[in-house]
Amino acid sequence: RKEVEQDPGPFNVPEGATVAFNCTYSNSASQSFFWYRQDCRKEPKLLMSVYSSGNEDGRFTAQLNRASQYISLLIRDSKLSDSATYLCVVNAKEGKLIFGQGTELSVKP
Amino acid sequence: DAGVIQSPRHEVTEMGQEVTLRCKPISGHNSLFWYRQTMMRGLELLIYFNNNVPIDDSGMPEDRFSAKMPNASFSTLKIQPSEPRDSAVYFCASSKDRRVQPQHFGDGTRLSIL
């Protein structure tokens, strides 16, 4: 079993749609969780941290379920500029970050 | 604020040659990470340093790869001799506190070994 698993997609959605990405992780001792965004041929960039109580940043909402070892990212009112690959990231021991394979999102006009 | 700075941005060289990738972390960050990304394997952690000391190099694929961090503002990743299967994008990232803080990535070095 991979340490961090994501649905690779691609997710093809129209502008304005709501889209949700899911991620599961295997290490129950993980303490820090993040969503990164990576555009084609660019570096991964931090989108948002994920907190136990859930958190929101504009159109983006992240949720964490420690009991199920599950993380989600919800994007509302999707824009063309949201097209990218979204990486679920979980810390392992000693600060190593484990990256999922990423979920590709394509928002169409 | 300056982010993580990597050089070169692109490198094309023949197999057997030595390749040196360079990274300058964000000032004040005490952890530095080297990653490799390919279509097949995704983003893989090669090695990371904390306070200039290598902490975990279990991701380094083989002895042809080596990394150093002589001071808090500079690190190198060296491949000698290089092989075509080393072709990938190599990213350097840094963080302030590796346990809880996110990592910030450089633009990457696109390496092609012919």
Q: Look at residue A97 in the predicted model and tell me its pLDDT.
A: 86
CA B47 to chain centre: 8
Q: Note whether A43 contacts B43, CB cutoff 8 Å.
A: no
Bin A65: left if φ > 0, else alpha if -120 < ψ < 50, else beta: beta
Whether A102 and chain B come into contact, CB under 8 Å, resolves to yes
- Residue A31 confidence class, pLDDT cut points 50, 70, 90: confident
Strand order in the sheet with A70-75: A4-6, A19-25, A70-75, A60-65, A55-57
Could you give the 3-state DSSP secondary structure of residue A94?
helix
Q: Note whether B105 contacts A45, CB cutoff 8 Å.
A: yes
Residue bearing the bigger pLDDT, A9 or A79: A79
Contact B13, B114 (CB under 8 A): yes
> Does A1 score more than 80 pLDDT?
no
Strand order in the sheet with B5-7: B5-7, B19-24, B74-79, B65-71
Q: Note whether A97 contacts B45, CB cutoff 8 Å.
A: yes
Total residues found in chain A within this entry: 109
Nearest chain A alpha carbon to B9? A42
Calculate ∠ Cα B101-B102-B106, nearest 5°: 130
> Does A93 score more than 80 pLDDT?
no
> Does B40 score more than 80 pLDDT?
yes
Pick from A43, A50, A90, A104 the residue to mutate for testing the B interface (most B CBs within 10 Å).
A43
Q: Look at residue B39 in the predicted model and tell me its pLDDT.
A: 87
What's the Cα-to-Cα distance from B39 to each of A4, A16, B57, rounded to whole Å?
Answer: 17, 30, 22
Note which residues in 26-45 of chain A have CB less than 8 A from chain B.
31-32, 34, 42-45
CA distance B93 to B91: 7
Question: Strands, DSSP E only, in chain B?
Answer: 5-7, 10-13, 19-24, 31-38, 42-50, 53-56, 65-71, 74-79, 88-95, 104-105, 109-113
Pick from A4, A87, A97, A98 the residue to mutate for testing the B interface (most B CBs within 10 Å).
A97
Of B45, B95, B105, the CB nearest to A44: B105
Close Cβ partners of A96 (under 8 Å, ≥ 6 residues apart): B45, B48, B56, B98
Close Cβ partners of B8 (under 8 Å, ≥ 6 residues apart): B21, B22, B109
User: Measured between beta carbons, which residues in chain A are less than 8 angstroms from residue B106?
Assistant: 43
Percentage with pLDDT > 70 across chain B: 96
Instruction: Give the pLDDT confidence of B41-73 residue by residue, as tens digits.
Output: 889 999 999 999 999 999 998 899 999 999 999
Closest to B92 (Cα-Cα) out of B49, B53, B63: B49
Instruction: Give the pLDDT confidence of A34-89 residue by residue, as tens digits.
Output: 999 999 989 999 999 998 888 999 999 999 999 999 999 999 999 999 999 999 99
Structure-token pair, residue A48: 């948002």
Give the residue carrying structure tokens 């960050």: B29
